[in-house]
Amino acid sequence: MSKKLIPVKAEEPKAESVLREIMSGDPVRIGLSILLGFIIGAVFMVVFSEDVVDSWSQFGADPNYALSTVWWTLQDGYGALFSGSIYNLNADNFIDGIRPLTETLRFAAPLVMAGLGVALTFRVGLFNIGATGQIMVGLAGATFISTRVELPQILHMLLAVMVAVLCAAVWGIIVGILKARFGAHEVIVTIMMNYVATSLFTFFLREPAFLLEANGGGTPKSDQPADTARLGKLLGPEFNLHYGLIIAVLSVVAYWWLMERSTFGFRFRMVGHNASAAKAAGIKVENTFIWALAISAGFSGLAAANQALSIDGGLTTSIEAGIGFDAITVALLGGSRAGGVVLAGLLFGAFKAGASSMQVAGVSPEVLGVVKALIVLFIAAPPIIRAIYRLPKPGPKMLEAVKKTEKAGK
Amino acid sequence: MKLELRNITKSFGTLVANDNISLVLKPGEIHSLLGENGAGKSTLMNVLYGLLQPDSGEILIDDKPVKFSGPGDAMAAGIGMVHQHFMLIPVFTVAENVVLGHEPTSKLGALDLNAARKLVTDISNRFGFDIDPDAMVRDLPVGSQQRVEIIKALARDAKALVLDEPTAVLTPQETDELMEIMRGLAKSGTSIIFITHKLREVQQVADRITVIRQGKVVASPSPKSSASELASLMVGREVELDVKRKTAKLGDESLVIENLTVLDDRNHQMVNGVSFSVRNGEILAIAGVQGNGQTELAEAILGIRKVHSGSITVSGKDVTKSTVRQVLESGLGYIPEDRKKDGLVGEFSIAENLMLDGSFTAPFAKGVQIDFAKRDQIADDLIERFDIRTPSADTLAKQLSGGNQQKVVVARELGRDLKVLVASQPTRGVDVGSIEFIHEQMIAARDAGKAVLIISTELDEVLALADRIAVMYRGKIVGIVDAKTTREKLGKMMAGIAA
């Protein structure tokens, strides 16, 4: 019949299409962003190294020396990152050699769990930055169970995990209801809820009636979690890696199933891509927001349980360790997909694991902060990466195959 | 002014939107540019207006090559454009709108509104526009707003006017008046490029016709050509403009609307005490100019807009207060007027789009899991039945042409067990081939005993499909008439004059 070819027009407003591009996470663009982040991080490392500055001041006298100090500085810095996060080449035996990798896994686990939570809301079209607050209330819940309740082994741990998830979910539901019923913007609400949760957790830690350690003084600190509630060591006493990793793996599977296989995920994605069409298809968009924020916060609650139940000694607010904030980056970096979040979580876990050995090697680990920030910057500004690597602009393009079928007219 | 486009070629990636197009516009001539959506008309006009730079080819004014790097250059050269969507500021007066951007000022730099008023009155009198320079633009009817746009162009000494689909928003009467104005302008020496896909108007007013198909000039037929000749040239094959149909076999009233009142987002009453019913086996078409409450009526029936008062009954069940899901499950199918906004998820595959409103129950859902095997099987079946041209069911909806996208929506809605079909602008922005197909499907639904409500601003579509026609004006039904009613009478009704 028709032999017409009608190009698809990109009619959405610019800001919205950029946001979509950011949250959609094209793997090539993300990979290039990471590469560029490391390259510019290297520049920082070199420029702020005293050795390099000294050697370059005598560049005329000894150019070879100047160039080699640059090389050695980079090798020291990123080499330390490698041996601190993947395999320690200087180790005497295999156990010591592989330890950095298990540390990376240990650091990655909570990042992945919280990252999945943030990723879920991204796919529903919500820019949820409330993981920090959700983790805080989760920490409070888990710690209350682990320090103030006595239960047998395993049961105690499971209850603590569940309470952490529930507390966090309630925190997420509050945001969902404020958005669904009163139209409050989730970005503002989650930021404010982060402040409230952080202060609330500190308050609990100060209060003898809630979390303050026995015979505790003015410093906000809890008791050590009861042994019955702790997440056990996964690979024996030689390694710090604990059962949190198993929870993380289960979370990834659950997230994948929820988003890709279940009808809930289908509706979540539908609302995320086109809320208006979802509404016309009989979906209650507001309720979907509430559900998404609740489940998302539940994942953050798992990250909280991971932190609260694996610590040696009492908890302070520093146990959150920036996970809630890194989770946003992990979700962005992972393109909000299960597999992507795992890879991004591993990268950020490696940063955390490698930071200390970089310091030992005499390279400021803050360079990693710069690298992280740059990666986010590049991901948040797709046009920069496209310009630097001369990538084609994604646009109103029709697939060749579509054109052919339409032209052929069957 | 003689305007010539010579061998213009413009491509986007692999798509050649304009392929070596040449066009001559003589002084005082109305030159009609005819072509389907996506044929390349808008691209050509954007090249002429300096919004796009051609890959090759040139623009000549009075046989001298010119180069436009933006609309400013084009305007300075005497080219005026009246866009389909008006570029007016509603809270400014006509005079203020007309001088916006090149305001006449007194010696001290203050705005000289008297000069602006005089400018408007002069032009208005010269061409018989009947426009009050002090009227607020938002208070003017659409037809008059369009005249303000034309005055705006003439006030900048436009010698050549481009009118882009100017009749889309007009009643038949306003359209006739516009045709008069166009002839008057042409007589006084202004050249006009008239872009449209409505054949009747072309026959009425054009001195010369150029037909564009797939980016190429395919013919320059005489203005005396018949409508079906023009349509065939536009589409590139024989076109059957009249839909064949049997006489209606009427059944029960499956959709009953009683005394319905609906408000828009700003609490204006958009639907005002509307009553009608649609019986099984008939097509009731709601005609009317855009913006007379049709959108709100359709949204209220589906339940995405709240009903203020009155009632809606679908096959005997009161659904006035029902949720969208309940309405859909009561056997109502819905084709929205804006498929990209309400009908499809562009980032979803065709298969996913075909289950958009079916995720709650079988066959698409198996418990809380999606039944992927069933989904793909249903998708393949619907793609076949509804002639959706796609390499596979996994192709994303946004990668399809407008016609194929609309077929996806139609397939989804007609693919399930329906009693009532509500179709809003079912063929807007769709190529002629797909229009034919979609119309056939509507008739087939009617013949299968479904109650079909079609809301359309295209009088041709209404006349081709309807068994009965209800005309809507300012939120009210002006009258419900027989399908044999004349165009003239319907036109009067669309302007609010009861039959």
Residue A28's pLDDT band, with cuts at 50, 70 and 90, is: confident
Cβ–Cβ of B324/A282 closer than 8 Å? Answer: yes
The per-residue pLDDT for B499 is: 61
Rounded Cα distance, A377 and A388, in Å? 14
Answer yes or no: is A13 within a domain: no
Rounded Cα distance, B73 and B44, in Å? 16
Answer yes or no: is A245 within a domain: yes
Question: What is the DSSP annotation of A137-172?
Answer: HHHHHHHHHHHH----TTHHHHHHHHHHHHHHHHHH
Best residue in B355, B359, B407 for a mutation probing chain A (most A CBs within 10 Å): B359
State whether residue B340 sits within 8 Å of chain A by CB.
Answer: yes
The per-residue pLDDT for A18 is: 63
Answer yes or no: is A76 within a domain: no
Q: What angle do CA A192, A196, A198 make, to 5 degrees?
A: 115
Query: Higher-confidence residue: B101 or A354?
Result: A354
Q: Residue B152: which of B139, B165, B142, B161 has the closest Cα?
A: B161
How far does the CA of residue A280 sit from the closest CA of chain B (Å)? 6
Rounded Cα distance, A74 and A39, in Å? 10
Answer yes or no: is A181 within a domain: yes
The per-residue pLDDT for A394 is: 57
Domain containing A188 equals 104-350
The per-residue pLDDT for A56 is: 80
How far does the CA of residue B420 sit from the closest CA of chain A (Å)? 16
Q: Please report the residues numbered 242 through 261 in chain B whose beta carbons come closer than 8 angstroms to any beta carbon of chain A.
A: none
Answer yes or no: is A237 within a domain: yes
For residue A384, pLDDT beyond 80: no
Residue-range domains of chain B with CATH: 3-235 (3.40.50.300), 253-494 (3.40.50.300)
Query: Higher-confidence residue: A18 or A68?
Result: A68
Cβ–Cβ of A7/B352 closer than 8 Å? Answer: no
Whether the CB-CB separation of B278 and B284 falls below 8 Å is answered with: yes
The whole-number mean pLDDT for each consecutive block of 10 residues of chain B, a chain of 499 residues, reads 91 83 92 84 88 91 90 90 86 91 82 89 86 89 87 89 84 84 91 87 91 89 86 79 76 95 88 95 92 92 95 95 95 93 94 94 92 95 92 89 91 94 90 86 94 92 93 93 90 84
Instruction: Considering only the beta carbons, identify the residue of A262, A266, A276 that sits closest to B341.
Output: A276
Q: Which residue of B has its CA nearest to A274?
A: B345
3-state secondary structure of A100: helix
Residue A291's pLDDT band, with cuts at 50, 70 and 90, is: very high
How far does the CA of residue A12 sit from the closest CA of chain B (Å)? 10
Give me the interface pTM, i.e. the ipTM: 0.83
The per-residue pLDDT for A7 is: 35
How far does the CA of residue B190 sit from the closest CA of chain A (Å)? 32
Total number of domains constituting chain A: 1
Cβ–Cβ of B348/A2 closer than 8 Å? Answer: no
Q: Which residue of B has its CA nearest to A266?
A: B359
Distances (CA, A) of A18 to A27, A124, A396, B13, B186: 16, 16, 14, 21, 45
The per-residue pLDDT for A111 is: 97
DSSP character for A233?
A: B
Answer yes or no: is A11 within a domain: no
Cβ–Cβ of A401/B395 closer than 8 Å? Answer: yes
Distances (CA, A) of B375 to A145, A275, B147, B194: 46, 22, 52, 46
- Which amino acid would we find at residue B310? G
3-state secondary structure of B212: strand
How far does the CA of residue B355 sit from the closest CA of chain A (Å)? 9
The per-residue pLDDT for A253 is: 97
CB < 8 Å to B323, chain A: 282, 284
- Sequence-separated contacts (24+) of B22-28 with Cβ below 8 Å: B22/B57, B22/B217, B23/B210, B23/B217, B25/B160, B25/B191, B25/B193, B26/B2, B26/B191, B27/B1, B27/B2, B27/B159, B27/B189, B27/B191, B28/B186, B28/B187, B28/B188, B28/B189, B28/B190, B28/B191
Q: Residue B144: which of B173, B116, B115 has the closest Cα?
A: B173
Cβ–Cβ of B356/A277 closer than 8 Å? Answer: yes
Instruction: Considering only the beta carbons, identify the residue of A266, A280, A406 that sits closest to B359.
Output: A266
For residue A127, pLDDT beyond 80: yes
Answer yes or no: is A168 within a domain: yes
Residue A47's pLDDT band, with cuts at 50, 70 and 90, is: confident
- The CATH code of the domain that includes A191 is 1.10.3470
Instruction: Considering only the beta carbons, identify the residue of A263, A283, A396 that sits closest to B370.
Output: A263
Q: Residue A84: how many CB atoms within 10 A of its CB?
A: 26
The per-residue pLDDT for A399 is: 47
Kindly provide the b/e burial profile for residues B321-337, where b requires at least 16 CB atoms within 10 angstroms of the residue's own CB.
Answer: ebebeebbbbbbbbbbb
3-state secondary structure of A109: helix
Distances (CA, A) of B472 to B66, B234, B359, B488: 48, 31, 35, 15
Answer yes or no: is A171 within a domain: yes
Cβ–Cβ of A280/B342 closer than 8 Å? Answer: yes
